[in-house]
Amino acid sequence: MKNNISRISLKALIAIVFTVFTFSNQLNAQDGAKLFKQNCAVCHASHTDQKLTGPGLKGIFDRAPKGDWLKNWILNNEKLIKSGDAYANKIYNENGKAAMTVFEGQLTDKDVDAILGFIKAPLPAAPGVTPGQTVADATNAEPQGSIDPLYLILGAIIVLAVLLGALRSVRTSLQNSVRRSEGSEELPDLTFWQEAKAWMGQRRRLVGVIAIILLFGGMKSCWDACYRIGVYYDYKTQKGYKPEQPIKFSHKLHAGDNEIACQYCHSSVEKSRHAGIPSVNICMNCHKGIQKGPQYGEKEIAKIYEASGFDPKTGNYDNSKQNPLKWIKVHNLPDHVYFNHSQHVVVGKIECATCHGNVKEMTVAEQKSPLTMKWCIECHRKTEVVMQGNAYYDRLHKALKEKYAGQYDVKFTVDKIGGLECAKCHY
Ligand code: HEC
Ligand code: HEC
Ligand code: HEC
Ligand code: HEC
Ligand code: HEC
Ligand code: HEC
């Protein structure tokens, strides 16, 4: 009898765990819709032919090349176009060479799979959505029936507890009536807690297993919740922010057409935490001579002279007339976050463009990455630390390789050197 009960309880336990997993899988399917809405819906309709900036994606699985093509395209279409891929160049030209965003560094392989899954599946029939609408409208209707599995479990536990209490009193009174008819003494009236203790004492192993599962489950969800902070706050990302600056300074003209190195102006990017914005003296190195621009003539460059107190007619500086330029900051991490450029650019060997997009093409500087916690963490999870030519890592890497020889394919990503520790990024 006793064994029967624990067997049933174990089965119930497995069933509960299973239900939770099924629910979290359903939630994953909805992630695709959310990711699409966040990243793609500005330029694409997911389930129709309607052209926005990019083509409607209906029938994309039939027309695009098979294999990994779609994934490669979505992660880095620039690379694919440059590689000479025929289909990539065809659609690029057909769409007037409009540039699609490069998502490498922002989306993981899993994200892309989720997005493709969403495009492939028929649109869920949300109320009031007609086939002509774009997905931006359709997914605005929140996915239906998405109850947090946590609430379901809590509900189930409450129902079980009530049921247990009821059964217990029924059982006691039944047993007592049997005892009365046998003429033996009635059972003592134990409190629920006393009885529960006795019950648990008899089933230590089962109780232990449940306790461990609850403990780890709790720890895991706390942990996940921490890393989701960035995800929940995605909506306030400033991605796409490109304020108008006091001077029409163009990166395209300077860093692109005239091929001036980024470090010429952002000179501290390899040495310190900040990349730095050049002072007007740096501009004057060239603009003392260059007094006219191709687009705005003398008008914009005159502002440089005004800021530095320079008189182009006499060629003299008047320090009393200096009036520093007030550039508007494009990227703004909150004060509680620590980000270090030299660590990423020099040690991590990451290109400016990975985080800032193709600045050489920008006439107005723009924030291209979300700068959310999720963004930092996802890159740390998948980017391998550069080992070559770094004596410290060379040694460490060799030691690790020897230690785990033949056991693992040692992939040494940033998270393994502490890139997910809260204190590394937060004061
Ligand atoms: C800034 C606008 C923009 C965004 C954002 C964007 N795309 Fe595109 N996409 C384009 C353009 C434009 C094209 C056409 C090719 C070209 O001009 O580069 C394209 C082409 C495509 C194609 C090939 C279409 C065909 O008909 O063969 C696919 C697939 C695609 N995009 C998927 C995505 C996915 C998935 C996302 C989100 C992760 C996304 N795109 C985000 C603009 C965008
Ligand atoms: C001739 C000087 C010059 C060169 C060269 C230059 N920049 Fe800049 N950069 C500036 C100035 C001035 C600003 C501030 C005005 C603005 O935002 O447009 C700026 C702003 C930026 C910003 C936005 C900063 C913010 O406010 O958040 C980024 C990112 C940036 N530059 C990246 C680059 C990269 C990458 C390169 C090389 C491809 C580069 N810059 C080359 C002068 C330069
Ligand atoms: C290394 C040299 C160099 C530096 C440093 C430099 N510029 Fe220039 N700038 C150029 C050149 C070259 C041109 C283009 C002249 C032409 O094509 O006629 C130019 C053109 C311009 C124009 C004219 C744009 C137009 O289309 O009319 C502006 C405005 C300008 N620069 C602002 C700045 C500012 C602000 C700084 C400092 C943050 C700066 N430049 C630093 C080389 C430089
Ligand atoms: C790993 C991502 C990453 C890389 C790589 C990167 N940046 Fe940044 N950059 C950022 C972030 C994040 C900020 C915002 C920092 C802040 O607000 O404190 C930023 C800010 C800036 C700014 C604004 C001024 C400042 O110091 O905050 C400039 C200019 C800039 N970056 C230039 C560059 C240049 C030039 C390179 C390449 C040599 C580069 N960045 C490489 C992530 C990156
Ligand atoms: C494009 C990928 C990428 C992005 C995006 C990125 N990082 Fe990193 N980060 C790296 C790499 C690679 C390293 C390892 C550098 C090294 O070898 O020490 C690193 C290292 C770090 C470290 C040092 C970790 C340690 O244990 O020494 C901190 C702190 C850090 N990043 C903060 C941030 C923050 C904050 C952001 C977001 C604002 C961010 N990173 C975004 C790639 C990235
Ligand atoms: C790789 C860098 C990185 C790591 C590691 C990291 N964070 Fe963050 N965190 C960020 C960035 C960047 C932001 C700012 C996000 C924004 O403004 O959207 C942020 C924001 C936050 C916020 C505030 C959210 C808000 O609305 O501004 C909290 C709270 C937070 N992090 C907690 C944590 C905890 C707890 C951990 C450890 C489990 C952690 N972070 C680890 C980079 C990191």
Q: Which atom of ligand 1 is nearest to the CA of 53?
A: 12
User: In whole angstroms, what is the distance from residue 340 CA to residue 230 CA?
Assistant: 19
Q: pLDDT under 50 in the chain at which residues?
A: 1-8, 10, 21-27, 29, 126-146, 231-235
**What are the CB-based long-range contacts (under 8 Å, 24+) for 115-118?**
115/32, 115/35, 115/36, 115/39, 115/40, 115/74, 116/32, 116/70, 116/71, 116/74, 117/29, 117/32, 118/29, 118/32, 118/33, 118/35, 118/36, 118/46
Q: Which ligand is nearest to the CA of 285?
A: 3
> For residue 383, what pLDDT is reported?
87
| One-letter amino acid of 20 | V
CA of 319 to the centre of ligand 3 (A): 22
The four Cα atoms 124, 128, 132, 134 give a dihedral, to 10 degrees, of: -70
Cβ-based neighbours of 83, under 8 Å, separated by 6 or more: none
Alpha carbon distances (Å) from 326 to 277, 281, 320, 323: 11, 14, 18, 9
User: In whole angstroms, what is the distance from residue 303 CA to residue 321 CA?
Assistant: 12
CA of 278 to the centre of ligand 3 (A): 13
Alpha carbon distances (Å) from 177 to 1, 169, 189, 194: 21, 12, 14, 22
Ligand 2: residue whose CA is nearest its atom 6: 262
Q: Which atom of ligand 5 is nearest to the CA of 421?
A: 26
Ligand 5: residue whose CA is nearest its atom 11: 348
> For residue 262, what pLDDT is reported?
94
Q: Which ligand is nearest to the CA of 296?
A: 3
Ligand 1 pocket, mutate which of 40, 110, 134 (most atoms under 8 A from CB): 40
Q: Are 412 and 384 in contact (CB under 8 A)?
A: yes
> For residue 393, what pLDDT is reported?
67
Q: 17, 4, 5: which is closest to 210 by C-alpha?
A: 17
Q: Are 330 and 243 in contact (CB under 8 A)?
A: yes
Q: 151, 152, 148: which is closest to 30 by C-alpha?
A: 148
User: In whole angstroms, what is the distance from residue 78 CA to residue 135 CA?
Assistant: 25
User: In whole angstroms, what is the distance from residue 371 CA to residue 334 CA?
Assistant: 10
Q: 19, 98, 121: which is closest to 51 by C-alpha?
A: 98
Ligand 1: residue whose CA is nearest its atom 14: 54
Can you say whether the dihedral through the CA atoms of 353, 89, 39, 362 is positive or negative?
Answer: positive
CA of 52 to the centre of ligand 6 (A): 34
> For residue 4, what pLDDT is reported?
44
CA of 423 to the centre of ligand 6 (A): 10
Q: Which atom of ligand 6 is nearest to the CA of 229?
A: 24
The rounded radius of gyration (Å) of the Cα atoms in the chain is 31
Q: Which two tokens stand for residue 77?
A: 């279409």
User: In whole angstroms, what is the distance from residue 115 CA to residue 68 CA?
Assistant: 14
CA of 360 to the centre of ligand 5 (A): 23
Q: Which atom of ligand 4 is nearest to the CA of 273?
A: 26
Q: Which atom of ligand 5 is nearest to the CA of 343?
A: 15
Q: Which two tokens stand for residue 114?
A: 């989720």
343 lines ligand 5 (CB under 6 A): yes
Cβ-based neighbours of 298, under 8 Å, separated by 6 or more: 291, 292
> For residue 126, what pLDDT is reported?
44
Q: 28, 26, 44: which is closest to 36 by C-alpha?
A: 44
Alpha carbon distances (Å) from 40 to 56, 129, 244, 361, 373: 11, 19, 25, 21, 20
Q: Are 24 and 147 in contact (CB under 8 A)?
A: no
Q: Which two tokens stand for residue 276?
A: 């730095």
Q: Which two tokens stand for residue 324?
A: 């520093």
425 lines ligand 5 (CB under 6 A): yes
User: In whole angstroms, what is the distance from residue 53 CA to residue 50 CA?
Assistant: 10
CA of 301 to the centre of ligand 6 (A): 41
> For residue 303, what pLDDT is reported?
93
> For residue 149, what pLDDT is reported?
66
